[in-house]
Amino acid sequence: MEREKALELVEPHLTEHRYKHTLGVMHTAIALAKKYGVDQKKAEIAAIFHDYAKFRDKNEMRDLVKEKLHWPSLLHYGDELLHAPCGAYYVKSEVGICDQEILDAIAYHTTGKPEMTDLEKVVFLADYIEPGRQFKGVDEVRKIAETDLDEAIIQSLENTITFLMKRRQLIFPDTLATYNDFILKRKRRSDC
C-alpha cells in the first residue's frame, strides 16, 4: 500500500493532533528502520496505522478483546491499551492488511512483548520518541536511539514503568516481561 493511500485511510479515524503524531511516528519509524536495517516500507505502514483504533468506542473494543481476541486479562489494565491489539484486528479486517509482521508491530506498540522483532522495536520506539512528544526522559531516549535500539527501548520501558509506579497504576505484565527480556539479553551479551 502506498503512503498516500494509507494516510487517506487513517486520517478520518484520528483527531488533528493525533494525525500529526502519526506523521511524526511514520517519519521516525522510517529513519529508525533505515538506521537499523529494518524493512522501511513495513515500518512506514505499521507506523501509519498504529493508532487506527485510538478513538474507537471503548465498549466495542472491550467486546472485541473478550470475544474475538480472547484476551480478557487486558481489560484489567485500563482502556489506554485497547487500541493497539484492536487496531491490528481492524487494520486486517477493514483495511485488508494481512502481513503479520505489520499487524504485530501495531498490536504491541504500547505494551511491548518479550522477543520483539526489529520491526516491532522500531514502531514501539518511534511512537515513544517522535518529535511531537515532550515529557521527562524523552530526549535521553532519543539520544540513546541514535546508537542502540535495544538500550533505547530499555530506557523507554524504565521511564514508563517508573511513571506508572509513581502514580500507583497497574503495569501490564507483558510490559514488565518485555523489560526483563531486554535486561536478560543485555546481561547475556555482556557475559560473553
- Those residues whose C-beta lies under 8 Å from the C-beta of residue 139, and which sit 6 or more positions away, are none
Phi, psi of 115 (to 5 degrees): 60, 40
140 touches 155 (CB < 8 A): yes
Can you tell me the mean pLDDT for 138-148? 98
Pairwise CA distance, residues 87 & 130, whole Å: 20
Would the pLDDT of 88 be above 90?
Answer: yes
- Alpha carbons within 13 angstroms on the beta-carbon side of residue 94 total 13
pLDDT tens for residues 4-33?
999 999 999 999 999 999 999 999 999 999
- Listing DSSP states for 69-125 in one string gives S--GGGGGG-GGGTHHHHHHHHIIIII----HHHHHHHHTTTT--TT--HHHHHHHH
Can you tell me the mean pLDDT for 82-98? 97
84 touches 106 (CB < 8 A): yes
**Domains in the chain, start-ordered, CATH in brackets?**
3-191 (1.10.3210.10)
Can you tell me the mean pLDDT for 102-112? 97
Can you tell me the mean pLDDT for 99-110? 98
pLDDT at residue 190 in the model: 84
pLDDT tens for residues 19-75?
999 999 999 999 999 999 999 999 999 999 999 999 999 999 999 999 999 988 899
Can you tell me the mean pLDDT for 93-113? 97
Biggest CA–CA distance in the chain, Å, is 50
Between vectors from CA 59 to CA 53 and to CA 61, what angle results, nearest 5°? Answer: 35
Confidence of residue 189 (pLDDT cuts 50, 70, 90): confident
pLDDT > 70 fraction of the chain, expressed in percent and rounded: 100
Would the pLDDT of 78 be above 80?
Answer: yes
